[in-house]
Amino acid sequence: MEWIRDERPRRITLISTGGTIASRWQGSGYAAEAAGSDVLDAAALPEHVTVDVVDLFNVNSSRMTSVRQLTLLRAVHEALADPGVDGVVITHGTDTLEESAFFLDLHHTDPRPVVLTGAQRPIGTADSDGPGNLYDALQVAASVRGLGVLVVFDGLVHPARGTVKTRTLAADAFSDPSAQSLGKVGFGRVDTRRTPERPAPLALPAASAEPEAAELPRVDVITHHSDADPLLFRAALAAGARGIVLVATGAGNATPEFVEAVREAVERGVLVAVTTRVPAGPVAEIYTGGGAVDLVAAGALLTGTLRAAQTRIAVLAALLADVAPEQRRELLRELLVGPAYEAPTMIPEPDLRTPEPAGASAA
């Protein structure tokens, strides 16, 4: 573990987007309402840190859209265009934080950190966790470099890639079910275990220049279950989807009917990625009969340990990238798997037959 400590003055840009950390009671429930300055005023500041606040938008994160994520991406790059800024902190709702964090990370080229945080309990409540999370996020943004986009929550530091919301209401809301956190923060220090592996960052998509006016590609998510058939998969194709994420069972398995639907989609130039509804572990080519072996043969790409929401972001990023259409599949493969991932090796089934006694001969 490394203790990173630097007492030089640090200037952080805080981008406020809403979420529980900015939510107040509306008479029937909570909704994002507080300005970024109100969110900041509720928290203490780490020593030697000054903060500039940008109110980008103020929405519950279930209302996050790709257009808003492009707006956020542009705002981050505009903040880092100022050489006097040492890092960026984003307050964000927890429901879709994993998607925004991964989208930003795929396009993050700067050694200065971008840190996302939020809250599970609203601003102004006696037990609000927002002020503590914001303090920690500012501490991390003022202390680290070269780690990409990070998620800081409940005293832990997570990489964007693979980190998902794993608990609906508890304070320790985020983790990567398939890997350890990067480190922890507390008592004025930031401890990190490792540097996250990240694919080569993408250039800003052209759509980020005027995201409100952009016609963004449709990317749908379809889940397999015991009685599933390809009806919804083909409905997504009919609706104009240019990418589909198939959330399969087990290590990435579906049925022969889905295999045929995947083949049809790939032949039409649609990007298809296969993840799993299982919380942890990689998808792998193990089973035929509609399993991952057949899905890959039909043209689908496996996602390593990425789950549905971040897989969808990878597909969207590949579609928005300034590359030739025939190069998008290979680009998506790189974004999905990442540089450190190694596909599991198939282990043949053991021979369970009872061995013949020594010296036995055929009758």
Torsion of CA 95, 96, 98, 102, to 10 degrees: -170
pLDDT greater at residue 85 or residue 187: 85
The reply to whether 114 and 56 lie within a common domain is yes
The reply to whether 124 and 72 lie within a common domain is yes
- Residue 157 inside a domain? The answer is yes
User: How large is the angle between the packed helices 308-320 and 328-337, nearest 10 degrees?
Assistant: 150
Tokens standing for 362?
């055929």
∠ at Cα 195 (170, 208), nearest 5°?
75
- Residue 145 inside a domain? The answer is yes
- The residue behind tokens 């991964």 is 102
Report which residue type is found at 45: L
Q: Would you name the residues annotated as active-site residues?
A: 20
Pair type for strands 271-276 and 243-248: parallel
Report which residue type is found at 356: E
- Residue 80 inside a domain? The answer is yes
Q: At 212, is the pLDDT very low, low, confident or very high (cuts 50, 70, 90)?
A: confident
How far is it, in rounded angstroms, from Cα 120 to Cα 59?
Answer: 15
- Taking all residues of the chain, what is their mean pLDDT, rounded to a whole number? 92
How far does the chain reach from its first CA to its final CA, in angstroms? 67
- Residue 343 inside a domain? The answer is no
The reply to whether 135 and 10 lie within a common domain is yes
The predicted-structure confidence for 142-188, as pLDDT tens digits, reads as follows: 999 999 999 999 999 999 999 999 999 999 999 999 999 999 999 88
Q: At 347, is the pLDDT very low, low, confident or very high (cuts 50, 70, 90)?
A: very low
The reply to whether 118 and 44 lie within a common domain is yes
- Residue 202 inside a domain? The answer is no
- Residue 358 inside a domain? The answer is no
Say how many domains are in the chain: 2
Q: Residue 340 pLDDT > 50, yes or no?
A: no
The reply to whether 36 and 180 lie within a common domain is yes
How far is it, in rounded angstroms, from Cα 91 to Cα 165?
Answer: 15
How far is it, in rounded angstroms, from Cα 217 to Cα 245?
Answer: 14
The reply to whether 118 and 231 lie within a common domain is no
**Structural domain range at position 253:** 218-337
Contacts of 294 (CB under 8 A, 6+ apart): 256, 259, 288
Tokens standing for 169?
């209401």
- What value does the mean pLDDT take over residues 51-74? 97
- Residue 236 inside a domain? The answer is yes
Q: Could you tell me the pTM of the whole model?
A: 0.91
- Residue 291 inside a domain? The answer is yes
**Under a CB-based contact definition with an 8 Å cutoff, are residues 141 and 113 in contact?**
yes
Domain holding 31: CATH number? Answer: 3.40.50.1170
The predicted-structure confidence for 97-107, as pLDDT tens digits, reads as follows: 999 999 999 99
